Chains A and B, each alone.
Chain A
Amino acid sequence: MKNKISALMDGELFADEANHVIAELKSQSSAQQDWQIYHLIGDVLRQPEAITREVGSAVHERLQLEAVILAPQRSMTEKARNIALSAAASVMAVVAVSWMAMQATPNKSAQLAAQTSALTRASFVLKPQVNAYLLAHQELSPSSDVQGGSAFIRTTNYSNEDVAP
Chain B
Amino acid sequence: MSDREVDQQLVERVQRGEKHAYDLLVMKYQRKLGRLISRFVRDPGDAQDVTQDAFIKAYRALPGFRGESAFYTWLYRIGINTAKNHLLSNKRRPPTSTYFDAEESESFEEASLLQEVSTPENELMSKQVVDVVQASLLQLPEDLRSALTLREIEGLSYEEIASVMNCPVGTVRSRIFRAREAVAANLRPLLETSKDKRW
Contact = CB atoms under 8 A, between A and B. Distances in A.
Interface of A: 2-3, 6-15, 18-19, 22, 25-26, 32-60, 62-64, 66, 68-71, 73-74
A41 B137 CA distance: 10
Contacts of B21: 22, 25-26
Contact of B55 (A7, A59, A68): A59
Which size class do B's interface residues fall under? 35 or more
- Sort A-B residue pairs by CB-CB distance and give the 6 closest, nearest first: A49-B111, A11-B3, A71-B63, A57-B198, A71-B15, A6-B177
Chain A binding surface, main DSSP class? helix
B114 A10 contact: no
Interface string B112-128: 10110110001101100
A9 to B, nearest CB: 8
30 contacts: A3-B173, A6-B176, A8-B1, A8-B6, A9-B3, A10-B176, A11-B3, A11-B6, A14-B1, A15-B5, A18-B1, A22-B13, A25-B20, A33-B197, A35-B28, A36-B27, A37-B187, A37-B188, A40-B129, A41-B187, A43-B31, A47-B35, A55-B30, A55-B55, A56-B23, A56-B198, A57-B196, A59-B26, A63-B26, A70-B16
B86 to A, nearest CB: 14
Nearest to A67: B60
Given A22-B10, A46-B152, A69-B15, A51 B130 contact: yes
Nearest to B194: A53
Task: Say whether chain B's binding surface is mostly helix, strand, loop, or mixed.
Answer: helix
Contacts of A41: 133, 152, 180, 183-184, 187
Interface in B123-164: 123, 125-126, 129-130, 133-134, 137, 148-149, 151-153, 157-158
